[in-house]
Amino acid sequence: MVNYTDLTEKEIANFGELFNLGSVKDFHLLKGGSTNSNFLLITEKGKYVLTICEDQTFEQIRPLMALLQHLEAQNFHTSKVLKSHSGEFLLETDINPVYLKSYIEGQVPRKLSLTSLEHLGIMIAKLHKIQVLDCIPDAYQYGLTYFADVTTSSSSHPFMDWLNQKSQFLEEHLPNDLPRGLVHGDIFTDNLVEGTHGQIIIIDFEAASHSPFIFDIGMALIGVCSEKNTISFRKAKALIKGYQQEREFNQMEKNGIKLFANYAATATAFWRFRLFHLRIPTLKRFNRYQQMVAIADSLVQIKNSVFMKQVGLS
């Protein structure tokens, strides 16, 4: 959780003027954000989402602005970032960096049907066909490169030993020559919208990076295909079927998908532990990392050949 910014009615009205939204009729803080404060603004011109960046600087958020504009130019359906009356997409204010997005009608899905998972797979593959911008980072922001933030801390928690072992395993086994490009990096249900016509829309590209494409598949397997502490093969098969309708995996990618699901679970466990134990200790979410530890450990018990067969890759 972040320390959310609390805006007054007057401050909201000021932002409405800065973005030429007309009179703001109503507003409220949207739930679900872990790194930003997001306000739904209902105005005389329509609905919008005002985002206040809580832990990123103006310069750090610039690549996201460029990416959202790039996705719009490529006709990829996601949130559209809007200009202020001064022609800027990102405003540097006394509070924090602020930007405005179009509001997408629909709802955050709690679970995805097999049909929706297949459609999501298609959308991920379409994203992967879009050229990555030079400003997009090469390293995933919660990836292996950053595990030392936890493993070198002064904590003596048992998670340290687990993460050290995982780090060593991943360093030894992650291949370096996989197809790479634009990757979302955080395919969980709270970063999706089920549109009014049932379509699945990918939003929230803050974790985007220039990474192996199958990292997104690994993340989606743990983010939308998990059941309790393991991955549902039935759901995983639907996601992968959809993806391959748009983009075929090569054999090295097929062989590596289980490994990257393991990596994604480990990276998410690391992120949750670092945030809720070390940075902003949060009792309610103190043990959220344990689900990802269980998923990562369950994957180790499955032979790769069995995994590939169960998800339709052999």
Buried b (16+ CB within 10 A) or exposed e, 160-188: eebbeebbebbeeebeeebebbbbbbbbe
pLDDT confidence band for 310 (50 / 70 / 90): very high
Is 114-310 a domain of CATH 3.30.465.10?
Answer: no
Strands 97-102 and 81-82: antiparallel
Angle at 237 between CA 304 and CA 183, to 5 degrees: 85
- 22: helix, strand or coil: coil
pLDDT per residue over 117-148, tens digit each? 999 999 999 999 999 999 999 989 899 999 99
Q: Where in the chain is the domain with CATH 3.90.1200.10?
A: 114-310
Phi, psi (rounded to 5 degrees) for 211? -140, 170
User: Model confidence at 33, in pLDDT bands (50, 70, 90)?
Assistant: low
157-181 pLDDT, tens per residue? Answer: 999 999 999 999 999 999 999 999 9
- pLDDT tens profile 233-258: 999 999 999 999 999 999 999 999 99
d(CA 172, CA 262): 14
Other Cβ atoms within 10 Å of 26 Cβ, number: 11
Q: What is the pLDDT of residue 58?
A: 87
Give the residue-averaged pLDDT of 37-61. Answer: 90
Q: What does DSSP say about strands 192-195 and 97-102: parallel, antiparallel, or unpaired?
A: unpaired
For residue 93, which amino acid is it?
T
Give dist(CA 283, CA 292) in Å, integer: 17
Kindly tell me if the per-residue pLDDT of 268 is higher than 80: yes
pLDDT band per the 50, 70, 90 thresholds, residue 54: confident
Q: Work out whether the CA dihedral 167, 172, 174, 178 comes out positive or negative.
A: positive
pLDDT over 70 (residue 2): no
Nearest to 67 by CA among 138, 139, 136, 140: 136
**Nearest CA-CA partner of 187 in 149, 236, 144:** 236
Q: State pLDDT tens for residues 289-302.
A: 999 999 999 999 99
Measured CA to CA, the distance from residue 123 to residue 126 in angstroms comes to: 5
Provide the 8-state DSSP code for 123. H
Kindly state the helix (H) or strand (E) to which residue 82 belongs, with its residue range: strand 81-82
Q: Which residues pair with 56 in a beta bridge?
A: none
Class of domain 9-103: alpha beta
Residues of each domain in the chain carrying CATH 3.30.200.20:
9-103
